[in-house]
Amino acid sequence: MRRSIDVIYLGVATATAIVIAIAAAIVLALSIESSGVLAREGLGFVLSPRWSPSEERYGFYGVALPLVGTLAVGVQATAIAIALSVAAVVYLHEYAPRRVREAIGIAMFAMAALPTVVFGMWGLSAVAPLVREAGLGSLCARGSPTGQSVFTAALVVGLMLTPYASSVVSAAYDAVPFTYVEALHSLGAMGFERARVLLGMVKRSIAAAALLSFGRAVGETTIVALTIGSAFNLPLCPFEPAHTVSSLIASQYGNAFLYPGLTSALSAAALLLLAASAATTALGARIARAAVARGGEA
């Protein structure tokens, strides 16, 4: 009898150990692989704007420009996702009739289920032409002629993140004890006034949603690679094409065997991405858990 139980535990423990090994392999493989380029370039890897794999024997690898691009897309996409989801949550809770509530619930569900490549295809064929036709590119010095730009990428990523962000905000809004809603009604508060007080009570969850969204936006590759226009450019103006770290990695898929230093440089870039995404996501998850543990109170 006792033997068979040990076998079950052994199986569970082995599988768990493999999962731990996978996580370790991700970190170790990236660290070891990236040591080459980091030893060669040092801080220049993150500070230098020069990315030129074919130059000299080893090539030059600096990701300063894509890092700024990642930051720009991340911040804009998060702002769009949070603005849309907070507005939607307020509308759904304070104003919307039930029918509309259901319709938007279905839309959110469908959006959450869509693969990112579908968003990317849509962004490329519907949003980018819109940006181009609207002439937004002419507002910037190096405006995009195709409509593929930092803003285009951020808009589509922001939409992709909206169901996710609003599920976090909505859960917190719902978790505010009903008695506060009653108190606000008893004071004669109107919809926007109730929303202001209740959003104040869930501001931690909104911060958590923003961090979690930012973490995802930083790592998002498919949408960005299709819609950002892939150019080494300092994207100080949102309607210019650029690169993010993830779109840079994606754009090099076919070259990895060609240049001696490229795999190392891509791994170092991936390590940066992992660090940024893990840090913001972990912080966001922690704030979200703490907010839930406090019972929805700020």
Partner 1 sequence: MRGRSVKRRLVDYAVHLTTAASALAILGAASHILLSALVEGLPVLLRGASFLLNPPGPPGGEVGGVGPSLAGTLVTVAIATIASAALGIPAGVMLSEARGSLLARVAERAVELIAESPSIVVGLVVFTLLVVPMRTPSALAAAVSLSVVALPYVAAQVRESLAAIPLVYREAAFSLGLQKWKTVFLLLIPMNARGVATAILLGSMRALGETAPVLFTAGAAFQVFYGIDKPSSTLSLLIFFFAGTPYENWRRLAWGAVLLLVLLSMLLASLTRRLAGRVRM
Partner 2 sequence: MREPAVRTRELSVWYGQSQALHSVSITVPRGTVYAVLGPSGCGKSTLLRAINKLVLLREGARVEGLVEVLGVDVYRDHSAEEALSRVGMVFQTPNPFPHLSIYDNVAIGPRLRGMAKGRELDKLVRWALEKAALWDEVKDRLKSPASSLSGGQQQRLCIARALATMPELLLMDEPTANLDPVNAAKIEELIKELSREVTIILVTHDAEQAKRLASTGVLLFMGRVVSEGPISSILSRSYSSIIQSLVASARRQ
Distance of CA 147 to the CA centre of its chain: 21
In this complex, which beta carbon is closest to partner 2, that of residue 111 or of residue 197?
A: 197
Q: Which option in partner 2, partner 1, none does residue 183 bind, with CB closer than 5 to 8 A by kind?
A: partner 2
Does 256 sit near partner 1 (CB under 8 A)? yes
Residue 293 binding partner per list partner 2, partner 1, none, with a CB distance cut-off of 5 to 8 Å that depends on partner kind? none
Q: 3-class DSSP state for residue 60?
A: strand
CB closer to partner 1, 205 vs 267: 267
DSSP-derived secondary structure letter, 137: G
Within 8 A by CB and 6+ apart from 96, the residues are 104
Give the x/- contact pattern for partner 1 in 117-146, rule: CB under 8 A: xxxxxx-xxx--------------------
Q: Contact with partner 2 (CB under 8 A): which of 6, 17, 145, 203?
A: 203
Contact 46, 272 (CB under 8 A): yes
Q: For residue 144, how many other CB atoms are within 10 A of its CB? A: 25
If one asks whether residue 100 binds partner 2 (CB under 8 A), the answer comes out as no
Report in angstroms how near the CB of residue 76 gets to partner 1 at its nearest: 16
Considering the complex, state which of residue 233 and residue 267 has its C-beta at the smaller distance from partner 1: 267
Binding of residue 297 to partner 2 (CB under 8 A): yes
Q: Which of residues 179-198 bind partner 2 (CB under 8 A)?
A: 179-183, 185-190, 193, 197
Phi, psi of 236 (to 5 degrees): -80, -15
Residue closer to partner 2 by CB (options 6, 102) is 102
**What are 60's strand-pairing partners?**
52
Nearest distance in Å: CB 46, partner 1: 17
Q: Which stretch binds partner 1 (CB under 8 A): 137-145, 202-210, 234-242, 271-279?
A: 271-279
- Terminal C-alpha separation, the chain: 52
Contacts of 4 (CB under 8 A, 6+ apart): none
Q: Among residue numbers 146 through 185, which ones bind partner 1 (CB under 8 A)? A: 159, 162-164, 167
The rounded distance, in Å, linking the Cα atoms of 67 and 89 is 32
| Rg from Cα positions in the chain | 23
| Closest distance of CB 107 from partner 2, Å | 22
Scanning 96-104, 179-187, 203-211, 289-297 for contacts with partner 1 by CB under 8 A, the matching segment is: 96-104
Cα–chain center distance at 126: 21
**Residues contacting 198, CB < 8 A, separation 6+:** 93, 173, 176, 180, 181, 184
- The yes or no reply on residue 5 touching partner 1 (CB under 8 A) is yes
Contact between 197 and partner 1 per CB under 8 A: no
For the chain, the maximum distance between any two Cα atoms, rounded to a whole number of angstroms, is: 77
Q: Where do contacts with partner 2 occur on this chain (CB under 8 A)? A: 177-183, 185-190, 193, 197, 200-201, 203, 297-298
